[in-house]
């Protein structure tokens, strides 16, 4: 039996004032395994700890029980004490006789009896404590950033500046994301492209960043520090090394289709770059619309290209990379506005979305910044901005608030009033949410200085009347219905996760909520980590947010990655699950209950009765296991056990506690 030393703390009078510590000491002395008992006034103090260290040496102690406050307070402290004395720190058990005893009970007899019970359970557990070593796993100091919007760009730059290699994968032909589609940003109204493009260029030029655009993540295997990722670089149809970005091919291409970047209010060619400041500034051939790919005729771009860079038969390339961390920054889509049939989106050409309005108002957009009605290209003399389309709607939309729409609608209304001096801007709102710095002031200015008219009420119907659109709503502040005739309506759709967010989450092995937003590890304290170690979140893929919050989150994710990469090896939690392979039947019912996907099947070979057999057993990745123990309960024959809280230990605590109980009926 292991030699246990028990150190009872008075904690001044916090414990000793209620618990008869000496009495407890007397009884503890009689417990099996206990070879040394000591009382201290303040065990956590320097002299107290020194006393423990001295006793360990002088009495050859193999296990230590400290009966004092909650282990949640001082377990790390006393573990360090044991380590300093040359003992494995996991040979410590604590008995909580303060928070759970002396502080909450008043009867001295009862408190003393309970304190003894608590200590005896700790002794029973300590006798079965094993020496635990933290695991170590290697770390590949290269990060993968998924998504080249402002979140991905910022995260990539921060990680690269910290001295680590970054691979930035973007599905579109260019990085820039949503911010590249915007005209001006609230509340300062600075030009979005002007602040974004320098960062885009930095990304392209940074020696530590490798850019894969027009590329998608296909597969992720492995775990923190050791991810194996497979990236599909789609065929652009253009040799990037030769292309000079002159743009002649785009000018000459005879095919015009709706531009995705312009959200349908502008056109592009079949060979195109989404916008002039694209990074990389190399075009892409849209195979579905390219005349040559469809009919075998044309090839004008090939003829005019002086660099001879056109490659119609280019194939996708598969790239395999090993990375240590992944930052997910895949952004958002907008709520499908056709759900609100009563608003006429898709039916009336002058009912547009806020993103389409951004493209109209953008100086480098399809109308060169002039606000024009899609139907007749006239300047609208009145515009209605409708908020919360899709958001805050339990019936037809999503329940949450989309966070950024109030501000950008205020911005749109302000910009409209700037450009069309005699125009009227109406904002139909439920609430105006302006939580950020200078946001409220911006909103005030829109009303006071720019004369934007705010109507508190959710429109019930929008319909065409001649050349006008009628917005019918209730003005809830006045308490009466209103009908407003306008030339154009701009709807603010809820920000929703990307259409394939769930599939991406499954590829990565991260969890997502009912809406499809990726789950952070803890809603308050761990906003950029996920429950999958080594995978971090930044930006709107985690939840709707504006640019300042996105950039902050991207920096936070980068800091987490930098912290991870600051070590050569990752020390992992020692109180992890482990498999007794001799017992394990390979049923793998443990696997589905693990929140961290830390359990896999493993094939082992054994010699049994003169022959070699192979069979499958469960295997725990100690780098991923966080020690919850759910697998140990799924395991029926106890092959799976949890270090620090083994089946043996818990049963010993129960058995020892109740050992002296006489059945009350006197049998």
Partner 1 sequence: MQPRKSGGFENMAESASRPEEARPAETRPAEEPGAGWEPVIVGFLCNWCSYAGADSAGTARMVHPPNVRVIRVPCSGRVNPRFILRAFQRGADGVLVSGCHPGDCHYSTGNYYARRRLVLLKRYLEYLGIDPRRFRTHWVSASEGQKFADIVREMTAEIKALGPGPKAKLGELV
Partner 2 sequence: MPRKPMLDIERMRSAEEALRREARRLLADGVVSVFLGHEEGWDGLAVPSFATSPEDAEKLVWNPLVAPHLAKYLLDRLAGDEKVGIVVNGCGSLALERILKDRRFPRERLYIVGIPCTGILDPARVADLPPERRREVLETGRAEAGLFLDRCSWCDVPNAVVSDILVGEPVAEEPTVHEYPRAARLEAMSLEERFEHFKDLYERCIRCFACRNVCPACSCRECCLDQWEPLWLGRATSVPEQQMFHFIRAFDVAGRCIRCGECERVCPMGLPLMDFNDKLLKDIAELFGVERPHVPTDVEPLGRFDPQDPDFEEGAE
CB-wise, 279 or 620, nearer to partner 2? 620
CB-wise, 121 or 145, nearer to partner 1? 121
The site partner of 151 among partner 2, partner 1, none (C-beta below 5 to 8 Å per kind) is none
Nearest approach in angstroms of CB 601 to partner 2 is 8
CB-wise, 59 or 636, nearer to partner 2? 636
Nearest approach in angstroms of CB 629 to partner 1 is 3
Nearest approach in angstroms of CB 312 to partner 2 is 46
The C-alpha atoms of residue 52 and residue 345 are separated, in whole angstroms, by 75
Nearest approach in angstroms of CB 523 to partner 1 is 9
155: helix, strand or coil: helix
CB-wise, 383 or 642, nearer to partner 1? 642
Nearest approach in angstroms of CB 621 to partner 1 is 15
CB-wise, 139 or 588, nearer to partner 2? 588
CB-wise, 5 or 380, nearer to partner 1? 5
CB 352 within 8 A of CB 359: no
Please, what sign has the CA dihedral across residues 272, 302, 251, 287? Answer: negative
276 class by beta-carbon count within 10 Å (0-12 exposed, 13-18 middle, 19+ buried): exposed
Nearest approach in angstroms of CB 530 to partner 2 is 18
The site partner of 664 among partner 1, partner 2, none (C-beta below 5 to 8 Å per kind) is partner 1
CA distances from 187 to 436, 441, 493 (A): 9, 9, 20
The site partner of 657 among partner 1, partner 2, none (C-beta below 5 to 8 Å per kind) is partner 1
CB 160 within 8 A of CB 166: yes
Neighbours of 511 (CB within 10 A): 15
The site partner of 613 among partner 2, partner 1, none (C-beta below 5 to 8 Å per kind) is partner 2
Question: 3-class secondary structure for 304-345?
Answer: HCCCCCECCCCCCEEEEEEECEEEECCCEEECCHHHCHHHCE
CB-wise, 165 or 649, nearer to partner 1? 649
What is the DSSP code (8-state) at residue 181? G
500: helix, strand or coil: coil
- At 512, phi and psi to the nearest 5? -140, 160
The site partner of 318 among partner 1, partner 2, none (C-beta below 5 to 8 Å per kind) is none
**CA gyration radius, the chain:** 33
The C-alpha atoms of residue 129 and residue 648 are separated, in whole angstroms, by 10
CB-wise, 65 or 159, nearer to partner 1? 65
CB-wise, 302 or 648, nearer to partner 2? 648
What is the DSSP code (8-state) at residue 510? -
The site partner of 208 among partner 1, partner 2, none (C-beta below 5 to 8 Å per kind) is none
Nearest approach in angstroms of CB 510 to partner 2 is 17
Q: Which two tokens stand for residue 617?
A: 């057993």
The C-alpha atoms of residue 623 and residue 667 are separated, in whole angstroms, by 51
Nearest approach in angstroms of CB 10 to partner 2 is 35
The site partner of 23 among partner 2, partner 1, none (C-beta below 5 to 8 Å per kind) is partner 1
Nearest approach in angstroms of CB 183 to partner 1 is 40
**How many alpha carbons lie under 13 Å from residue 103 in its C-beta half-sphere?**
11
CB-wise, 112 or 192, nearer to partner 1? 112
Nearest approach in angstroms of CB 627 to partner 1 is 6
The C-alpha atoms of residue 522 and residue 542 are separated, in whole angstroms, by 12
The site partner of 30 among partner 1, partner 2, none (C-beta below 5 to 8 Å per kind) is partner 1
What is the DSSP code (8-state) at residue 224? T
CB-wise, 248 or 587, nearer to partner 2? 587
The site partner of 241 among partner 1, partner 2, none (C-beta below 5 to 8 Å per kind) is none
Output the CA angle 550-556-557, nearest 5 degrees.
Answer: 90
Taking phi first (over 0 means left), then psi (-120 to 50 degrees means alpha), and beta for anything else, what does residue 558 get? alpha
Contacts with partner 2, residue ranges (CB under 8 A) = 582-589, 592-593, 608-609, 611, 613, 615-616, 634, 636-639, 647-648, 651-652
The C-alpha atoms of residue 266 and residue 273 are separated, in whole angstroms, by 13
Spatial CB neighbours of 233, under 8 Å, sequence gap ≥ 6 = 212, 214, 215, 316, 317, 318, 319
The site partner of 616 among partner 2, partner 1, none (C-beta below 5 to 8 Å per kind) is partner 2
Q: Which two tokens stand for residue 446?
A: 């829109």
Nearest approach in angstroms of CB 610 to partner 2 is 10
Nearest approach in angstroms of CB 130 to partner 2 is 13
CB-wise, 74 or 236, nearer to partner 1? 74
Nearest approach in angstroms of CB 450 to partner 1 is 44
CA distances from 74 to 44, 67, 71, 78, 392 (A): 8, 11, 5, 6, 46
Nearest approach in angstroms of CB 576 to partner 1 is 11
The C-alpha atoms of residue 115 and residue 98 are separated, in whole angstroms, by 9
Residue with tokens 């201290």: 40
Spatial CB neighbours of 525, under 8 Å, sequence gap ≥ 6 = none
The C-alpha atoms of residue 169 and residue 237 are separated, in whole angstroms, by 18
Q: Which two tokens stand for residue 48?
A: 């107290």
CB-wise, 40 or 154, nearer to partner 1? 40
Q: Which two tokens stand for residue 482?
A: 């209103």
CB-wise, 14 or 165, nearer to partner 1? 14
CB 278 within 8 A of CB 173: yes
Nearest approach in angstroms of CB 579 to partner 2 is 12
The site partner of 290 among partner 2, partner 1, none (C-beta below 5 to 8 Å per kind) is none
The site partner of 648 among partner 1, partner 2, none (C-beta below 5 to 8 Å per kind) is partner 2
Cα 136 to its chain centre, rounded Å, is 25
**DSSP-H helix ranges across 5-107:** 21-28, 46-58, 71-84
The site partner of 584 among partner 2, partner 1, none (C-beta below 5 to 8 Å per kind) is partner 2
The site partner of 513 among partner 2, partner 1, none (C-beta below 5 to 8 Å per kind) is none
CB-wise, 466 or 663, nearer to partner 2? 663
The site partner of 72 among partner 1, partner 2, none (C-beta below 5 to 8 Å per kind) is partner 1
């Amino acid at each position: 039996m292991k030699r246990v030393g028990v150190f009872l703390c008075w904690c001044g009078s916090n414990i000793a004032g209620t618990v008869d510590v000496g009495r407890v000491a007397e009884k503890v002395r009689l417990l099996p395994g206990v070879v040394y008992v000591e009382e201290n006034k303040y065990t956590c103090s320097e002299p107290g700890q020194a006393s423990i260290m001295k006793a360990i040496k002088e009495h050859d102690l193999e296990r230590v029980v400290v009966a004092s406050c909650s282990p949640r307070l001082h377990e790390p402290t006393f573990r360090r004490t044991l380590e300093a004395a040359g003992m494995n720190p996991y040979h410590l058990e604590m008995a909580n006789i303060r928070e759970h005893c002396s502080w909450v009970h008043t009867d001295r007899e009862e408190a003393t009896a309970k304190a003894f019970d608590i200590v005896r359970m700790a002794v029973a557990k300590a006798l079965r404590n094993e020496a635990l070593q933290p695991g170590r796993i290697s770390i590949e100091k290269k990060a993968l950033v998924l998504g080249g919007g402002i979140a991905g760009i910022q995260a990539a730059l921060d990680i690269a500046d910290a001295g680590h290699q970054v691979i930035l994968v973007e599905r579109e032909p260019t990085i820039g994301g949503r911010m590249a589609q915007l005209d001006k940003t609230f509340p300062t109204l600075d030009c979005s492209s002007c602040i974004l493009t320098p960062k885009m260029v930095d990304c392209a030029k940074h020696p530590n960043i490798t850019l894969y655009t027009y590329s998608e993540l296909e597969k992720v295997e492995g775990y923190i520090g050791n991810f194996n990722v497979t990236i599909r670089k789609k065929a652009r149809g253009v040799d990037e090394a030769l292309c000079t970005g002159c743009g002649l091919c785009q000018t000459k291409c005879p095919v015009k289709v709706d531009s995705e970047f312009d959200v349908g209010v502008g056109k592009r060619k079949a060979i195109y770059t989404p916008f002039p400041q694209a990074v990389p500034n190399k075009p892409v051939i849209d195979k579905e619309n390219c005349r040559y790919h469809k009919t075998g005729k044309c090839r004008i771009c090939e003829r005019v290209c002086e660099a001879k860079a056109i490659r119609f038969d280019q194939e996708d390339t598969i790239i395999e990379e090993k990375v240590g961390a992944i930052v997910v920054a895949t952004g958002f889509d907008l709520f499908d506005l056709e759900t609100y049939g009563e608003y006429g989106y898709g039916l009336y050409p002058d009912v547009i979305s806020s993103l389409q309005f951004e493209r109209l108002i953008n100086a480098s957009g399809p109308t060169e910044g002039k606000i024009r009605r899609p139907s007749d290209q006239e300047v609208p003399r009145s515009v209605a901005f409708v908020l919360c389309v899709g958001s805050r709607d339990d019936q037809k939309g999503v329940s949450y608030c989309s966070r950024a729409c109030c501000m950008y609608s205020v911005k749109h209304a302000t910009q409209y009033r700037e450009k069309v001096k005699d125009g009227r801007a109406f904002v139909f709102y439920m609430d105006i949410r302006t939580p950020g710095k200078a946001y409220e002031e911006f909103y005030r200015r829109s009303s006071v200085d720019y004369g934007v008219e705010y109507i508190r009420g959710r429109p019930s119907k929008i319909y065409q009347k001649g050349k006008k659109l009628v917005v019918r709503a209730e003005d809830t502040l006045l308490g009466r219905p209103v009908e407003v005739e306008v030339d154009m309506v701009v709807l603010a759709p809820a920000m929703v996760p990307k259409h394939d967010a769930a599939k991406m989450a499954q590829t990565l092995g991260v969890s997502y909520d009912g809406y499809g937003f990726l789950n952070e590890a803890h809603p308050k304290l761990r906003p950029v980590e996920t429950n999958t170690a080594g995978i971090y979140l930044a930006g709107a893929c985690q939840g709707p947010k504006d640019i300042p919050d996105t950039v902050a989150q991207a920096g936070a994710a980068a800091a987490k990655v930098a912290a991870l990469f600051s070590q050569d090896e990752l020390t992992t939690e020692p109180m992890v699950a482990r498999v007794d392979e001799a017992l394990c039947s390979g049923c793998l019912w443990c696997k589905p209950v693990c929140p961290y996907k830390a359990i896999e099947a493993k094939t082992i070979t054994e010699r049994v009765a003169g022959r070699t057999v192979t069979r499958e057993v469960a295997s725990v990745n100690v780098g991923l296991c966080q020690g919850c123990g759910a697998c140990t309960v799924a395991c029926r024959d106890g092959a799976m056990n949890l270090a620090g809280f083994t089946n043996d230990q818990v049963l010993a605590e129960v058995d020892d506690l109740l050992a002296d109980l006489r059945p009350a009926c006197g049998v």
